[in-house]
């Protein structure tokens, strides 16, 4: 579908780092299940509150909050002007002026949203290039500066994780779910082909081994 073009482009740029539900070709935007899934996704992102995100998402969220604030302020200003004109010149003139102002504000908001979308698309392209460069050299591992949340409530960097930690892995119906860390491994680029790779490990009790 034509309305899916931008989504397809975004997904294609994300390589193997994406998930979309439900299938937008089966459940278009007008259907309730589509709205419910988007609302659920919005709640999950909001509840993550800065973890498992990056600067781009945080910057985008701040910009959206700023645009929403500006829209509220303009709506409040229009309402004040409407009330004043209605008091002085009557309801008909007030409504005409209100509609004119609203159309102007909506057009300004549309242009600003398109501008921000273009900026976001450019930054996504830059980010994807960095991800591609990183994946080609590191095999697609998580960035060590990624922030994760422990069951204790602490928020730490991925590089600080230890075997035995319980890490936030999902939010289902507003309830946080945690998973145990069994293995932390980073396999760099080998200088020659190997069928097997030796991995050293340390258990929480201090026991060290090799497999």
Q: What is the pLDDT of residues 122-166, one digit of tens each?
A: 776 776 666 556 555 544 455 666 778 888 888 888 778 888 888
CB burial of residue 44 (10 Å; 0-12, 13-18, 19+): middle
Domain match, 118 and 156 both:
no
Q: Final residue of a domain: which of 89, 106, 138?
A: 138
Domain match, 80 and 169 both:
no
Average pLDDT (21-42) is: 67
20 CB-near residues (< 8 Å, 6+ apart): 7, 11
The number of folded domains in the chain is 2
Domain match, 35 and 132 both:
yes
70 lies in which domain range? 2-138
Record the tokens describing residue 136, joined without a space.
Answer: 């080609």
CB 205 within 8 A of CB 165: no
Pairwise CA distance, residues 188 & 190, whole Å: 6
Measured in degrees and rounded to the nearest 5, phi and psi for residue 63 equal -65, -40
Record the tokens describing residue 126, joined without a space.
Answer: 């830059």
Q: Final residue of a domain: which of 82, 114, 138?
A: 138
Q: Final residue of a domain: which of 118, 138, 158?
A: 138
Whole-model pTM over 0.75: no
Kindly provide the residue ranges of all beta strands, DSSP E only, lying in the chain, ordered along the sequence. 147-149, 155-157, 166-172, 175-180, 200-202, 208-210
Domain match, 179 and 134 both:
no
Domain match, 36 and 109 both:
yes
Q: What is the mean pLDDT of the chain?
A: 72
Q: What is the per-residue pLDDT across 80-126, written as a single tens digit (0 to 9) for each?
A: 998 988 888 898 888 888 898 889 988 888 888 888 878 877 776 77
Domain match, 101 and 164 both:
no
pLDDT for residue 52 is more than 60: no
Domain match, 82 and 160 both:
no
């Amino acid at each position: 579908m034509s309305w899916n073009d931008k989504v397809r482009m975004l997904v294609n740029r994300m390589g193997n780092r994406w998930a979309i539900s439900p299938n937008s070709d089966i459940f278009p935007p007008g259907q309730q299940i589509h709205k419910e899934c988007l609302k659920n996704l919005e709640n999950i992102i909001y509840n993550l509150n800065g973890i498992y995100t990056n600067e781009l998402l945080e910057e985008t969220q701040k910009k959206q909050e700023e645009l929403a604030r500006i829209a509220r302020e303009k709506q409040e200003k229009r309402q004040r002007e409407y009330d004043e004109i209605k008091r002085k010149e009557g309801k008909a003139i007030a409504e005409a002026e209100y509609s004119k102002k609203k159309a102007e504000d909506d057009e300004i908001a549309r242009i600003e949203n398109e501008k921000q979308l273009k900026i976001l698309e450019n930054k996504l392209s830059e980010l994807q290039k960095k991800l591609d460069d990183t994946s080609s050299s590191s095999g697609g591992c998580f960035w060590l500066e990624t922030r994760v949340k422990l069951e204790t409530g602490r928020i730490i960097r991925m590089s600080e994780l230890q075997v035995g930690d319980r890490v936030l892995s999902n939010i289902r119906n507003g309830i946080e779910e945690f998973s145990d860390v069994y293995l932390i491994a980073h396999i760099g680029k080998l200088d020659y082909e190997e069928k097997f790779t030796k991995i050293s490990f340390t258990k929480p009790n201090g026991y060290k081994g090799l497999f």
